[in-house]
Amino acid sequence: MARLLLTLVSGFILVSFAPPLSPQEGCRRCDKRGVVPCSKHTEEIIAAEGRVHFCSVVAGCKECGGALVVDCKRCDGGPDNAAMEARRAAVAEWMKQNEIEAHFGRPVARCETDHCELVIDLKGSFKVGRTKVDAHELMHLVADDTSHVSQRVVEHYAVEEDDIFAKMRMWIWETAADHMSAVETFMHTSARGDFKMLGKDPVFSVWREPGLFSSPGAIRTVFTHNVGHMLISNLYRERDVGPIGGGWYDAGAGHWYEYDRFDSSVQYCIEEATALSSFADGVWRAAIRKLVARSDEPLLPPLLDVPTTAMNVQQQAICWSFYDWIVANHQDKMRPVLRDLKQKKPTRDVMKEHFGLGVLQAEEAWKAWVLETYPTREKKKRR
């Protein structure tokens, strides 16, 4: 079974690079392909590489050059040998396009997916559940997380090929010095803490800051949370709606995609976030239901003009829940809603046009949905 999986995954990676078939037929050992999986990579890594376009770590393999397969030594070749060489050439060409490595003068672990260019420049091992992973394996977990969010955004907004203007550049560095150097060199600004630029050519950079982004869980959630913000800021028009009247929507989106991936949300785009505890330990449905049931005052209207970064943790959780209501009840309206918010159309007009509801009516509809669908108590997570 393991050999079958390796064969299928490596075959999938090679197929798009295959020129006309070779007349060579291979042998039984290589399943008549002419190539076999590279022994330097585990089954899990080969499978993970099949979910990204390129990875600098496997590109540095002296045996396969990033193709993940090598020549079969028991035959003279087969139909996949030409594709293997084409893949090696494509990987080598991609490796040349690396201004970050040129700047630092050393290898920098990076990979590319449909919508992201990731740098995970870390050292050592990390505990994920009951197992330990190295930085390369962690990079692929982050790639899977950000790809999950990207796919959900594509679904929600019926994204077409020309709707996204750039790939999301997301970096994490082992040291503050490297983080600051990258931001200064490539963004032409300074930042010791995390840096994020939304709208045109989005960038997110952070370093392995103790207590904040040092654990694999924190690294994965901060990337997952922020890629949602970045993609939405780059859709249709290169503009971040968070500071221009769409903070309620932007805040809700960032939390929703993190929650969708991990069943909780613990990251906050708040200037004072480091000094604040999270809302309900990041598990929100029961807490929001209780808040809605006990509140006599409107919850949503006071937030409509508040920028994302000016909200407190409870306010951001409220925005998450309202976005949750939109996904569940008005997904077909998410595309025009975002377009209008980017045009600075007032939220009251947006809700009236696309939901057919005034702000207070939308709040009542959302509250009724929360009381009907959210649990009164959260299930305990397995440790």
Q: Which of 267, 140, 260 is nearest to 204 (CA)?
A: 267
User: In whole numbers, what is the pLDDT of the chain averaged over residues?
Assistant: 90
- DSSP SS3 for 314: helix
Q: Is the pLDDT of residue 136 over 90?
A: yes
Reported confidence tier of residue 21, pLDDT bands at 50, 70, 90: very low
* List of residues 6+ apart from 76 with CB closer than 8 A: 24, 34
Place of tokens 């994490």: 172
Q: Is the pLDDT of residue 318 over 90?
A: yes
d(CA 272, CA 293): 28
- DSSP SS3 for 151: helix
- What are the pLDDT digits (tens) for 151-180? 999 999 999 989 999 999 999 999 999 999
Q: Is the pLDDT of residue 13 over 80?
A: no
CA distances to 36, 320, 322 from 147, rounded to whole Å, are: 28, 20, 24
Give the dihedral of Cα atoms 353, 320, 359, 156; nearest 10 deg. 10
Q: Is the pLDDT of residue 277 over 70?
A: no
pLDDT for res 4: 44
Q: Is the pLDDT of residue 272 over 90?
A: no
Q: Which of 119, 146, 172 is nearest to 224 (CA)?
A: 146
Reported confidence tier of residue 25, pLDDT bands at 50, 70, 90: confident
| Model confidence, pTM | 0.89
- What are the pLDDT digits (tens) for 191-217? 888 899 999 999 999 999 887 888 899
Quick one: tokens of 69? 């397969």
Find out if CATH 3.40.30 is the number for domain 108-236. Answer: yes
End-to-end CA distance of the chain: 31
- DSSP SS3 for 296: coil
Reported confidence tier of residue 23, pLDDT bands at 50, 70, 90: low
State how beta strands 116-121 and 168-173 pair. Answer: parallel
State how beta strands 131-134 and 168-173 pair. Answer: unpaired
- What are the pLDDT digits (tens) for 34-70? 999 999 999 999 999 999 999 999 999 999 999 999 9
Radius of gyration of the CA atoms of the chain, in A: 23
Q: Which of 228, 164, 172 is nearest to 200 (CA)?
A: 164
Portions of the chain given CATH number 3.40.30: 108-236
**328/33: higher pLDDT:** 328
CA distances to 8, 10, 137, 348 from 258, rounded to whole Å, are: 31, 31, 20, 27
Reported confidence tier of residue 383, pLDDT bands at 50, 70, 90: very low
Q: Is the pLDDT of residue 242 over 90?
A: yes
Q: Is the pLDDT of residue 117 over 70?
A: yes
Beta-bridge partner residues of 134: 125
Q: What average pLDDT does range 358-367 have in this prediction?
A: 96
d(CA 234, CA 253): 14
Quick one: tokens of 178? 């490297």
